[in-house]
Chains A and B, each alone.
Chain A
Amino acid sequence: MILLKLISWQYVRKHLLRSLLTIAGIVLGVAVFVGMHTANQSVLTAFTQTVDRIAGATQLQITAGEAGFEEEVLERVQNVPEVRVAVPVIEAVATPETRSKGNLLILAVDMTGDRSLREYALEDGDDSFIEDPLVFLAQPDSIMITQEFAAENGIKSNDALTLNSMDGPKKFVVRGIMKSSGLTSAFGGNLAIMDVYAAQKVFGRGRRFDRIDLAVQEGLRPEEVGKKLEQILGAGYQVESPSSRGKQFESLSSVYGMLANITSLFALFIGMFIIYNSFAIAVTQRRSEIGILRALGATRGQIQVLFLMESAVGGLIGAGLGAGLGVLIARGMAGSLGNLLGEIYGVAQKAEEVSSDPQLLAGAMVLGLITSLVAAWIPARNAARVDPVQALQKGKFQLLTAGENRTRRGLAFLFLVLVGLSLVYGEGRLIFYAGYFLSIFAGVLMVPTLGLWLAKGLRPLLKAIWPVEGALAADSLIQSPRRTSGAVAALALSVSLIIALGGMTQAAYASIEEWLRIALNPDMYLSPSQNLTDRSFRFPAAFAEEVAKLPGVRRTQFVRTVRLPVDGEPVMFVSLEVASIRKEVRLPVVSGDGDKMYAEAAAGRGVIVSDNFALQHKRKAGEILTVNTPEGPLDMPILGTVVDYSDQKGSILIDRAVYEKYWKDDSVNVVRIYLDEGVTVAQMRDRVAAQMGDRYRYFVFTNEDLRSYILKITDQWFGLTYIQIAVAVLVSILGIVNTLTVSITDRRRELGVLQAVGGLRMQIRGTIWLEALTIGAIGLVLGWVFGAVALYYALETSARDLSGMRLEYSYPFRMALVLIPVILGSSFLSSLGPAETAVRGSLVEALEYE
């Protein structure tokens, strides 16, 4: 501790800027980790809080996936003696026409029995007068809102509130304002209660409920009653605690969580090189100091601990700052991330408050600390090995020994062989990822050698263009590869990350656009919801049938999308008329016989699954997929796999007749319409309007609208990738600034001598600028090469563990070219400060340095 105060603190004070730059990598890595996870956690917390608050005293919830079930199930449940109270529920999100923006979560219940489960504290404290319960039930336009929502929108009791319903915009009457309580804070206070039977009409549910909430008789264990209910109802129904809905959402958004991990770990990994670089140089610079300490009796262990302690303190400070910055980032992105996840997965939540998880923050601190310690381990060990006699001699420390280089090359070669073997025998996840990491290590180990070769290769060019500055810059890099290798490695890794992400994005866009071209080829679509992923509203089958009969309609296809549990996870089922789809759409076949699989699926003799479902659930064509339906288990052969991007977690195409038969659900989410030749979308829009009038709520989407909508969501999703790219660029710039700052300090004497013998300030500046540009160029070239490998692994990771999307390898040459001005420009900018420092320092001090 005394050494830390006497030696390290003095050093930090003297090199404050460098110290700050050193920990900046940790700050950024931890900030990204905390920010992305906190935002994700906040969205998840918002969802589970809404679920909890809405659940009230509910102990169990009965669902049949998202498909819902017929009313008679309620009576069966209510007749089970162990059930104290069971009430039907419909939950939906609607858009109110109010001055405050945001959706309203509608909780539709049977008010006659629901108060046994939920506490509706009304504003006046008594429910019998302020709002008449009989009027509430008698009038289907009755709605009860929260005090918060009422205050925000200036709504009073008996005021009208317009909501978009299946029958078009519909005026509701506020017949109850709930006092603030746990329930009213659900969904950020944007909660409304209405009668479940009225909601069936408003949301197009027919005579079905979304779920049943229940409480068991006193003294009984909910789990045991749940098992009994499952036996009575059959496996097609899920009887779970309300909290399990949070787990389902977590499972849906796991892709995002994994992406957040990859980004932050990569940022930390790059940050590690910056720390390594700084410490390696610090050890070199402080050799004489170490020598004196050793001569005075300090042990090797004490020296090593001293450097590790410095690193630990730096790591902790960096992690602390990063955690704070991360929470700020999370505040900025929680709302938009909530909307994005809501749009992608169609799950209602409202993330407005950021909840920082102490465990996450503690984990981030530990991560920052470990990263810092790992990065400083080798420099600290080298410091401990310093020979006191040699240390007190000047000028022998910049050389990277030939032996050291040989060892690195040898290790790199060994790693490359292992990587090759892992690719040949890498079916297993462990071997695959081991190969991935070894490839990174091999690349990092090769950086000094490759950097040296490239610097040597660039020297003639630099000398030819700028005889003095160019030669000096190249020589500086050639003579002290250790000083620059960390920065070059950080930069190369950043560039490789950008190439990998850019390549993956490019491939994903290409694949999605191709899928859009093939799968989404109708002329227009009708949807009951403005947000196509929202399944709150559904058309009754009668609506779709009326549309089909309109003149000018060549073909219609009724689509019902619904998440149902498969292997315990919610999976998107796309129910449609396969025979009709077969005539218009041929999704690219991955396995199975194209013609046969469609014919068999149309006959209801099996299902077609998407490639990403097959990959994520490890299923193959020919296997039997057992789906639990309300009618009992349904065994369907997997007829084949196709490329389909309907859902990130995979999709199952099932014939509509089979779905209707087993789930007793004939509602429709989307009507696909193909028009007769010569009929325009505008004409058909008018015909639909004339036919339907105000009887139904519907939105018309043209083919172009739908494509734009899907591409907009894709853009939002890949917006996260751009965050990763920005982080990568930022970290690499930090690396260059750090290296140059160190380099200037390190070469103060050399630069001083140059000035003393007549070197112009402009020449010194030029040397520093060229040095930065050369580091940038070397990092860029190595990054391009590493990126080619990283892209392969990124695509494989995506296919294996992220979305299951099998994307074509295509090197992002355009992005690689865009990186030239970005990286070289950043390198140049990052050299401006250090260059000025180099020319403005005192010449006398510079000559006395060391």
Chain B
Amino acid sequence: MSKWLWLLVAGTLWAQDARQIVEESQKRHRSRSQQYEGVLEVYDAKGGKNEKRWQFARIGSYGESKSVLRFLAPPLVKGVALLIHNHPDRASDQWMWTPELNRDRRIALQDRSTRFFGTDFSFEDLEERDVDQSDYKLLGEVALNGQACYQIEATPKKTRASQYAKTVIWVRKDILLPVQFEMYVKTELTKRMVHRKVEQVQGVWSTLELEMNDLRKKTRTVMKTEKLKYDMTLPEERFTLQALRRGE
């Protein structure tokens, strides 16, 4: 076997490993459903803070999930909701409901790169992606905050439109939970998402606090999760446009 052929085979195995890590990670943290109340703290470049509360519910997972996100506070945004239908083979469908206007609007695919209502998340960041939507490469094993991690590079497949050219993911080796993401637009590192508080809830390792940093704008958004529950029974009907319009 020539040196070059060996390298090619080794590279393929390496990539296979990275994909397997991601797949295993998704499998370990999979749940039939999920519900929590979240707090969003958005800090501007000058340190100013804006807070919003929301309620989140999901059924299904990774690529086939449906979720509803409904704002609870402040009063001016209460009732505004976002419905997301994720698909394994294409970008998600998203609709927004504004109760004051009494109408829904579709968030177009082209708009997914825009900021999610002034936070440092984009609409795309809220999507849950199926493992098959990206190609993976294991960059190595590194320590992050004293924890050994796999460092994996995920590149969206050509069929999958994304604002990011690549995302580098840190996955804790011990529990196979992603704890840090770095997103690149073209070659520039634009965002960093750090999972700051990780705990086990109902036997599932979960992130209870994460921080998204916009490195270009020098702003950050902290998302805290409360009242987290898994695998409760949620009616499928709750994740429809009709239910969204009814304010359920």
Interface residues of A, Cβ cutoff 8 Å to B: 74-75, 78, 83-86, 110, 112-113, 115-116, 126-129, 132-135, 137-140, 195, 197-198, 201
Complex Cα distance A516/B17, Å?
83
Cβ-defined contact, A140 with B101, below 8 A: yes
Closest beta carbon of chain B to A112's beta carbon, Å: 5
Closest beta carbon of chain A to B19's beta carbon, Å: 28
Cβ-defined contact, B77 with A134, below 8 A: yes
Complex Cα distance A201/B103, Å?
11
**With a CB–CB cut-off of 8 A, which chain B residues contact A132?**
50, 76-77, 117-118
Complex Cα distance A128/B52, Å?
13
Residue of B nearest to A196 (CB): B105
Cβ-defined contact, B118 with A128, below 8 A: yes
Cβ-defined contact, B110 with A139, below 8 A: no
**With a CB–CB cut-off of 8 A, which chain B residues contact A126?**
44-45, 217, 219
Considering the complex, which residues of chain B in the window 34-78 have a beta carbon less than 8 Å from any beta carbon of chain A?
Answer: 42, 44-45, 48, 50, 52, 71, 74, 76-77
**8 CB < 8 A contacts A-B:** A85-B110, A113-B107, A113-B114, A116-B114, A126-B219, A129-B44, A197-B105, A201-B101
**With a CB–CB cut-off of 8 A, which chain B residues contact A85?**
110-111
**With a CB–CB cut-off of 8 A, which chain A residues contact B96?**
112, 137
Knowing that A113-B107, A116-B114, A197-B101 touch, tell me 14 more A-B residue pairs with CB under 8 angstroms: A78-B108, A112-B123, A115-B114, A128-B42, A129-B48, A129-B50, A132-B77, A133-B118, A134-B77, A134-B117, A135-B74, A137-B80, A138-B100, A139-B100
Cβ-defined contact, B98 with A197, below 8 A: yes
**For the complex, is B13 an interface residue (Cβ under 8 Å from A)?**
no
Residue of B nearest to A132 (CB): B118
> Given known contacts A78-B108, A78-B109, A128-B50, is B115 in contact with A133 (CB within 8 Å)?
yes
Cβ-defined contact, A134 with B110, below 8 A: no
Q: How many A-B pairs fall under 8 Å by CB? A: 89
**For the complex, is B92 an interface residue (Cβ under 8 Å from A)?**
no
- Central interface residue in B74, B77, B98, B118, by most chain A CB within 10 Å: B118
**With a CB–CB cut-off of 8 A, which chain B residues contact A135?**
74, 76-77
**For the complex, is B157 an interface residue (Cβ under 8 Å from A)?**
no
**For the complex, is B106 an interface residue (Cβ under 8 Å from A)?**
yes
Cβ-defined contact, B103 with A116, below 8 A: no
Cβ-defined contact, B106 with A197, below 8 A: no
Cβ-defined contact, B76 with A139, below 8 A: yes
Complex Cα distance A75/B106, Å?
9
Cβ-defined contact, B44 with A134, below 8 A: no
Closest beta carbon of chain A to B97's beta carbon, Å: 10
Cβ-defined contact, A133 with B117, below 8 A: yes
> Given known contacts A78-B108, A112-B107, A197-B105, is B44 in contact with A128 (CB within 8 Å)?
yes
| The residue from B42, B50, B108 contacting A113, defined by CB atoms under 8 A apart | B108
Closest beta carbon of chain B to A215's beta carbon, Å: 9
**With a CB–CB cut-off of 8 A, which chain A residues contact B108?**
74-75, 78, 86, 112-113
**For the complex, is B119 an interface residue (Cβ under 8 Å from A)?**
yes
Cβ-defined contact, A113 with B110, below 8 A: yes
Cβ-defined contact, A138 with B119, below 8 A: no
Complex Cα distance A112/B115, Å?
8
Closest beta carbon of chain B to A329's beta carbon, Å: 48
Complex Cα distance A113/B117, Å?
11
Cβ-defined contact, A134 with B71, below 8 A: yes
- Central interface residue in A75, A115, A129, by most chain B CB within 10 Å: A129
**With a CB–CB cut-off of 8 A, which chain A residues contact B50?**
128-129, 132
**With a CB–CB cut-off of 8 A, which chain A residues contact B110?**
78, 83-86, 113, 116
Cβ-defined contact, B80 with A128, below 8 A: no
Cβ-defined contact, B98 with A110, below 8 A: no
Cβ-defined contact, A110 with B105, below 8 A: yes
**With a CB–CB cut-off of 8 A, which chain B residues contact A112?**
96, 105, 107-108, 111, 114, 123
> Given known contacts A112-B96, A113-B108, A129-B44, is B114 in contact with A134 (CB within 8 Å)?
no
- Central interface residue in A78, A135, A138, A195, by most chain B CB within 10 Å: A138
Closest beta carbon of chain B to A122's beta carbon, Å: 11
Complex Cα distance A201/B119, Å?
28
Residue of B nearest to A134 (CB): B117
Complex Cα distance A127/B44, Å?
9
**With a CB–CB cut-off of 8 A, which chain B residues contact A198?**
101
Complex Cα distance A125/B115, Å?
15
Mark each residue of chain B from 114 to 126: 1 if its CB lies under 8 Å from any CB of chain A, else 0.
1101110001000
Cβ-defined contact, A128 with B219, below 8 A: yes
**With a CB–CB cut-off of 8 A, which chain B residues contact A116?**
110-111, 113-114
Cβ-defined contact, B42 with A129, below 8 A: yes
**With a CB–CB cut-off of 8 A, which chain A residues contact B79?**
138
Q: Lowest 7 A-B CB distances belong to which pairs?
A: A113-B111, A134-B117, A128-B118, A133-B118, A129-B44, A85-B110, A78-B108
Residue of A nearest to B120 (CB): A128
**With a CB–CB cut-off of 8 A, which chain B residues contact A140?**
98, 100-101
**With a CB–CB cut-off of 8 A, which chain A residues contact B98?**
137-138, 140, 197
Cβ-defined contact, A138 with B80, below 8 A: yes
Cβ-defined contact, A134 with B52, below 8 A: yes
Closest beta carbon of chain B to A160's beta carbon, Å: 15
**With a CB–CB cut-off of 8 A, which chain A residues contact B77?**
132, 134-135, 138
Closest beta carbon of chain B to A837's beta carbon, Å: 79
> Given known contacts A75-B106, A138-B76, is B100 in contact with A129 (CB within 8 Å)?
no
Closest beta carbon of chain A to B162's beta carbon, Å: 14
Complex Cα distance A127/B118, Å?
7
Closest beta carbon of chain A to B161's beta carbon, Å: 10
Cβ-defined contact, B103 with A128, below 8 A: no
Closest beta carbon of chain B to A196's beta carbon, Å: 9
Closest beta carbon of chain B to A624's beta carbon, Å: 39
Complex Cα distance A133/B101, Å?
15
Closest beta carbon of chain A to B246's beta carbon, Å: 17
Closest beta carbon of chain A to B30's beta carbon, Å: 31
Residue of B nearest to A113 (CB): B111
Closest beta carbon of chain B to A313's beta carbon, Å: 63
- Central interface residue in B100, B110, B119, B217, by most chain A CB within 10 Å: B110
Complex Cα distance A198/B42, Å?
26
Complex Cα distance A201/B102, Å?
11
**With a CB–CB cut-off of 8 A, which chain A residues contact B71?**
134, 138
> Given known contacts A113-B108, A128-B115, A128-B118, is B103 in contact with A197 (CB within 8 Å)?
yes
Complex Cα distance A126/B119, Å?
11
Considering the complex, which residues of chain B in the window 214-236 have a beta carbon less than 8 Å from any beta carbon of chain A?
Answer: 217, 219
Complex Cα distance A254/B123, Å?
48
Residue of B nearest to A125 (CB): B45
Complex Cα distance A145/B42, Å?
24
Complex Cα distance A195/B101, Å?
10
**With a CB–CB cut-off of 8 A, which chain A residues contact B105?**
110, 112, 197
Complex Cα distance A197/B105, Å?
8
Complex Cα distance A197/B80, Å?
14
Complex Cα distance A84/B100, Å?
30
Residue of B nearest to A198 (CB): B101
Closest beta carbon of chain B to A688's beta carbon, Å: 26
Complex Cα distance A197/B107, Å?
13
**With a CB–CB cut-off of 8 A, which chain A residues contact B80?**
134, 137-138
Closest beta carbon of chain B to A173's beta carbon, Å: 10
**With a CB–CB cut-off of 8 A, which chain B residues contact A75?**
106, 108
**With a CB–CB cut-off of 8 A, which chain A residues contact B101?**
140, 195, 197-198, 201
